[in-house]
Amino acid sequence: MKYWKPVQAVVLPASAAMLLLILLLGLFTSVRADSGAAPAFFPRHVRNMSDEILVDALSSLPLHLKISRADWDGGALMVDLQMPERNVAVRDIYEDVTSLFSYSFEGTDNVEQLFLRVMAVDRWGGKRYLLLASDMRRSEWQTSYEEALLNLEDGRIPEPVLSSLHLTVTNLWEKQFIGR
């Protein structure tokens, strides 16, 4: 019996360590076997938009404005951009709009229509106000529209650009960005 105590003092911790090692190896193997899953903080570039990648895909875009709403419905991408409480340059808004057009129609294969809205939110009451909207189809998109939009210096958008990009500006947009 006195020989058993030293053996027990070594064997029990070694057995526990071995069991823990086996469990960890099993966990590691099962995680590696699931090759279809990818953590959200390692976004992969996927050419086909889907509900599963919507958040990762849009959050990887370098935007000045915050995305307040996004939805995917079988070929149609709907995105609401929210104006920040601080003043933002109109050029930053144009860059974000251009980025979303470009990503939707050049960075994916299955976005056929982009519904885009730029919204302002009343910080006191939470009411949402529409500033700018677009309903653009892939079949009508041309890369030359990017340059036209990015070359605008103020809030005034020429009629040919408005109609080409199916942009609608509200009175609030005009008061905020053209009346400056």
Overall average pLDDT of the 15-43 stretch: 51
Instruction: Give the DSSP H/E element, type plus range, for residue 121.
Output: strand 113-121
Tens digits of per-residue pLDDT, 142-164? 989 988 888 887 778 888 888 99
Overall average pLDDT of the 8-33 stretch: 57
Buried residues in 155-166 as b, exposed as e (16+ CB within 10 A) = bebeeeeeebbe
Q: Which residues contact 110 (CB under 8 A, 6 or more apart)?
A: 47, 48, 49, 75
| Site of tokens 């949402």 | 128
State residue 142 phi and psi, 5-degree precision. Answer: -135, 140
d(CA 54, CA 50): 6
Tens digits of per-residue pLDDT, 35-61? 454 444 434 456 899 999 999 999 999
Question: 168: which strand partners?
Answer: 133
Tens digits of per-residue pLDDT, 92-103? 999 999 999 999
Rounded to whole angstroms, what are the CA distances from 49 to 69, 112, 160?
16, 10, 30
Average pLDDT, the chain: 82
pTM: 0.72
